[in-house]
Amino acid sequence: MTRRAPRPTPTAAAHARAPWVWAAVGSVLGLALVLGLAAPAHWLAWGLAQASQQRVQLHDAQGTVWHGTAQFTLGTADPQAPRSALPGRVAWQLQPSWRGLRLELQMPCCLDGSWAWTLQPQSGGLQLQAQDRSPQQALRLPAKLLASLGTPWNTLQLQGMLALSTQALAVSLAPGQLQLQGQLQLQALGLSTSLSTLQPIGSYQLRVQGGAEPTLELQTLEGALQLQGSGRLQAGRLQFTGFASATAGREEALANLLNIIGRRDGARSVIQVG
């Protein structure tokens, strides 16, 4: 009688398949790594648009998610509404680090050098930390960008320069919660508006100070339109009260603007948010 060859045991069969299994797993992991490293920049553009509800968009994105350039635009969630774009392209470099992700931005139109941000996970959310920028190194943006954000900016049609600077700024994001540490300062310089024949109307500064309840302070640096106010961020909601008035002799030139930006209370306008 012819004797049959013994069947391979389950263990032997598993060992026989192992090289093929590991080869398949290695191929999948290698493909995933290649796709991750070469992920096109328009994937990042899509994610940013979705996260901001279309308010921030990267048009004509080129390169990869990790290193690319695009045209930065601002607008509302309405796809038919006009949008505003920076006068030049934005370049970014995204690098993993032991703290999370490091993002380095370059905007030749509006920024000297580069600006680094760090994104790191924390309990229940994410924390975004900004590299310090002094007022002399501020990010400078044209004020006309604000018009694309809708009311009241599209009515004011502001012209001038916005200068953004930070000091020890850290923003913690969690579902339904926002915490801020450090300081953010926004200066609006040489502003003018289509609602007044007086040009410019002035220069202003808004300072946000982080803490358990972040505070806001608005003051006039110079100009015929005098603005001042203060507020705070409580449980994610902004509460702000400000006042606007005209310097002596400029009341008529600023009357229309004062009627629009707030509730008239005699010679001044009251600006109330929250």
User: pLDDT tens, 205-225?
Assistant: 999 999 989 999 999 999 999
Q: What is the pLDDT of residue 7?
A: 57
Kindly report, residue by residue over 20-62, the tens digit of the pLDDT: 444 444 444 443 444 455 689 998 899 888 888 888 999 999 9
Q: What is the pLDDT of residue 107?
A: 95
Strand pairing class (56-63; 139-142): unpaired
C-alpha span between 192 and 204 (Å, rounded): 12
CB contact burial 234-252 (16+ within 10 A = b; e otherwise): eeeeeebebebbbeeebee
Let me know: does 109 contact 87? Beta carbons within 8 Å: yes
Q: Name the helix (H) or strand (E) containing 50.
A: helix 41-51
C-alpha span between 235 and 179 (Å, rounded): 9
Counting as low any pLDDT under 70, the low residues of the chain are 1-38
Domain spans of the chain, in order of start: 36-122, 133-274
Q: What is the pLDDT of residue 76?
A: 83
Let me know: does 186 contact 209? Beta carbons within 8 Å: no
DSSP-derived letter for residue 274 is -
Q: What share of the chain is helix, strand, coil (3-state, %, to 5)?
A: 25, 50, 25
Residue 169 forms beta bridges with which residues? Answer: none
Q: What is the pLDDT of residue 24?
A: 44
Q: What is the pLDDT of residue 27?
A: 43
